[in-house]
A and B are shown apart, each in its own frame.
Chain A
Amino acid sequence: MSVYLLRRLIQAALVMLAMSVIVFVGVYAIGDPVEILISPDADQAEKARAIAALGLDKPLWEQYLSFLSNALRGDLGRSFVFNEPALQLIGQRAPATLELAFGATILAILVGLPLGLYAGLRPNGAGAKAIMAGSILGFSLPTFWVGLMLIMVFAVQLGWLPSTGRGETAEFLGMRWSFLTWDGLRHMAMPALNLALFKISLVIRLTRAGVRETMLMDYVKFARAKGLSPQRVIGVHVFKNILIPVVTVVGLELGSTIAFSVVTESVFAWPGMGKLIIDSINVLDRPVIVAYLMSIVLMFIVINLVVDLLYSVLDPRVRLESKG
């Protein structure tokens, strides 16, 4: 296990290094670094000073090394717009995005698992067909358009829920959270549902496919032949085996949920990281873009690592295979 862990850690570090090169090349080589890192308002003398200070007159590999060492110390530049360290800005917006993503994930599991189980056990029933049709809709509907429609129906027409913003927040662990207040929850309802739609469909499909394939397995037939109750066969033998893919995917999807919250946050003006990155791209606030990309890449690598490790605990074959 420790060899496996070490190997995965080294791999993760390598991927992070590769991504830092890509982001560096993307920002420093493709774009004009002078335009990117120095405020456009600066005059000629200021620019020259800044170029020297940032080391932009040095060779590219030297620039990369200084970019890397600054990044390792948590310094990814200052935002032009907010005049704050870019990383700090991302950190301030993170709780809003995280609570939205977690809310959506919880919603997806609570809704998706039971529906998928039902659809898998009675694949030819009318209920299952309706669920599957619904899940195709969930996959097909463009998230941003569903968000607009939710606003149109529940905020404009019915006036039940607030259309945009985060509402009242309460402090917990030194950060501001919406889910702790009633007003915040009301603001969160529509964005969380919007973000969850795709995941709900995904969980339904995974669960259904898993149930359908697992029900034909010999060990399920054997368990039934042994005279175990259907509840036990489904609840223990089937459920345990379909959980592996569902856990993997939901775990991996947490990262993708955070990434996709870019869309939901833009629709509902939810002040999280996603809204920040889109605004930053539109006003070319590139230190913030770099900081967002680097921190979200890091987050992905960590999530992938955790899911892989979890997977090797759930399914010993993965671990054994990598030894050979």
Chain B
Amino acid sequence: MSATTAGPAPTAAPAKAPKVETPFRRFVSEFFESKIATGALLVFVCIVLVAVLAPVISPQNPYDLAQLDIMDGRLEPGSRNADDTMTYWLGTDDQGRDMLSGIMYGLRISLIVGAGSAIAAALIGASLGMLAAYAGGRTDTVIMRLVDLQLSFPTILSALMILAFLGKGIMNVVFALIVVEWAYYARTVRGTALVERRREYIEAAQCLALPTRRIIFRHLLPNCMPPLIVVGTIQIARAIALEATLSFLGLGVPITEPSLGLLIANGYEYMLSGKYWISFYPGIALLITIVSINLVGDHLRDVLNPRLKK
């Protein structure tokens, strides 16, 4: 991921020898040193592929009511359908929907909402953080006060507040997630940018009378990327988990576009009668997604944090 963004710092311009160690190459080789992180990245790529290809590879379209048979409701994993034409490998829900297909489609919603809100929040947060660091003074104070205020309230509370005002719906959930997350990016970027802007290469760029926009985007921003990447990775996982939680509580996505969280919520009432699979398998899918992202993010933090290097 983000192969170009972690690119070489201008100060470390390497000679043109073929096998020279650039920061980016060092980063890649250090990242793949960890088998766990490599495996996690692989798993995550597979999950994204499954979500993207869901309409092609899923056994049925879980939202095409014509394909559903209420007679197949709440079947155990591995049972055959009424016409004996397909097997429900992960069982069916109360409407006779194949859980495997439901999970594949649910993954799409979860990933789109999670990644979409994380990227939007990163854009907004990073811009504001950069502005705060570069402009300083009153702008800095105002932005950082807002960040402090936002961070002093737990994510679920802010999200709950927004959804209580706006009502449920995918766009409202995305909006709530952006509001909840932007402050993390702003704080991270500001912290790094404050350190970086005192470096010689920024001074050199300023001496060359480069336009401010160029200094910020071409010189400052690339060097603030490493912590931003780490925060971004973790925040995607958190956004997915928060979306699932909100949907589970009935405040998130509508029933017509169920994410993994809503699938789990649907199985809640059947849990006590021992029909575990309706909640269990979507949960496993959610878990694998979040864990793989977190493992990658965790290792990125170790690789990109110079304080932990010997």
Residues of A participating in the B interface, judged by any CB pair closer than 8 Å = 15, 18, 22-23, 26-27, 30-31, 136-137, 139-145, 148-149, 151-152, 155-156, 163, 213, 252, 255-256, 259-260, 262-263, 266-267, 277-278, 281-282, 289, 293, 296-297, 300, 304
Contact call A278/B286, Cβ cutoff below 8 A:
no
Complex: A148 Cα to B275 Cα, angstroms: 12
Is B164 within 8 A of A281, CB to CB?
Answer: yes
Q: Is the CB of B291 within 8 A of A143?
A: no
**Is B154 within 8 A of A256, CB to CB?**
yes
SS class, residues of chain A in contact with chain B:
helix
Q: Which one, B131-139, B181-189, B192-200, B247-255, is touching chain A?
A: B247-255
- Interface residues in B67-103 by Cβ distance below 8 A to A read none
Q: Specify which chain A residues have a CB less than 8 angstroms from the CB of B280 in the assembled complex.
A: 149, 152
Q: Are B166 and A30 neighbours in the complex by a CB distance under 8 Å? A: yes
Q: Which of B160, B290, B291 has the most CB of A within 10 A?
A: B160
Q: List 7 A-B pairs, minimum CB-CB distance, nearest first.
A: A256-B154, A26-B165, A145-B283, A259-B157, A259-B154, A140-B290, A140-B291
A145 engages B152 (CB within 8 Å): no
Q: What range describes how many residues of B lie at the interface?
A: 35 or more
Q: Is the CB of B291 within 8 A of A136?
A: yes
Among A139, A140, A151, the residue within 8 A (CB) of B271 is: A151
Q: What A residues does B274 contact at CB under 8 A?
A: 156
- CB pair B294 A142 closer than 8 Å: no
Residues of chain B with a CB closer than 8 A to A293's CB? 161, 164
**Contact at B164–A289, with CB atoms within 8 Å?**
yes
Question: In the complex, which residue of chain A has the Cβ closest to the Cβ of B289?
Answer: A140
Do residues B271 and A260 form an inter-chain contact, with CB atoms below 8 A? no
- Cβ of B156 and Cβ of A142 under 8 Å apart? no
Tell yes or no: B13 within 8 A of A by CB: no
Contacts of A152 in B (CB 8 A): 271, 276, 280
Known pairs A144-B261, A151-B272, A266-B249 / 12 extra A-B pairs, C-beta < 8 Å: A18-B149, A140-B237, A142-B286, A144-B249, A148-B268, A155-B272, A255-B154, A259-B154, A263-B156, A267-B268, A282-B250, A297-B153
- Complex interface: chain B residues within 8 A of A266 (CB): 248-249
Q: What B residues does A31 contact at CB under 8 A?
A: 165
Across-interface contacts of B283 in A (CB, < 8 A): 142, 145, 148-149
Question: CB-nearest residue of chain A relative to B244?
Answer: A142
Of all chain B residues, the one with the shortest Cβ separation from A164 is B272
B235: CB under 8 A from chain A? no
Interchain CB contact under 8 A, A26 and B264: no
Docked Cα-Cα span, A22 to B158, in Å, equals 11
Contact of B279 with A by CB under 8 A: yes
- Of B157, B241, B286, B295, the contact of A296 (CB 8 Å cutoff): B157
The distance in angstroms between the C-alpha atoms of A279 and B237, with both chains bound, is 27
Interchain Cβ contacts under 8 Å between A and B, 16 examples: A15-B149, A18-B149, A26-B161, A30-B166, A136-B294, A142-B244, A142-B248, A144-B249, A156-B272, A156-B276, A256-B157, A262-B160, A262-B249, A266-B249, A278-B250, A297-B153
Residues of B within 8 A of A23 (CB): 161
In the complex, what distance in Å separates the CA atom of A61 from the CA atom of B274? 55
B298 within 8 A of A: yes
The listed residue (A141, A151, A277, A296) touching B287 by CB distance below 8 A is A141
Known pairs A148-B271, A148-B279, A296-B157; A304 contacts B249 (CB<8 A): no
Assess A300 versus B245: contact at CB under 8 Å? Given A27-B165, A148-B264.
Answer: no
**With A and B bound together, what is the CA distance between A242 and B156 in angstroms?**
28
Chain B residues numbered 262-304 whose CB sits less than 8 Å from any CB in chain A: 264, 267-268, 271-272, 274, 276, 279-280, 283, 286-287, 290-291, 294-295, 298
A255's nearest neighbour on chain B, judged by CB, is: B154
Give chain A nearest CB distance to B260 CB in angstroms: 9
On whether the beta carbons of B249 and A278 are closer than 8 Å, the reply is: yes
Q: Which among B157, B161, B237, B261 has the highest number of chain A CB atoms within 10 Å?
A: B157
Q: What is the CB-to-nearest-CB distance from A182 to chain B, in angstroms, rounded to a whole number? A: 23
A181 vs chain B, min Cβ distance (A): 24
Chain B nearest CB from A156 CB (Å) reads 6
* Interchain CB contact under 8 A, A142 and B290: yes
- Kindly list chain B residues whose C-beta atoms are within 8 Å of the C-beta of A140: 237, 241, 287, 290-291, 294
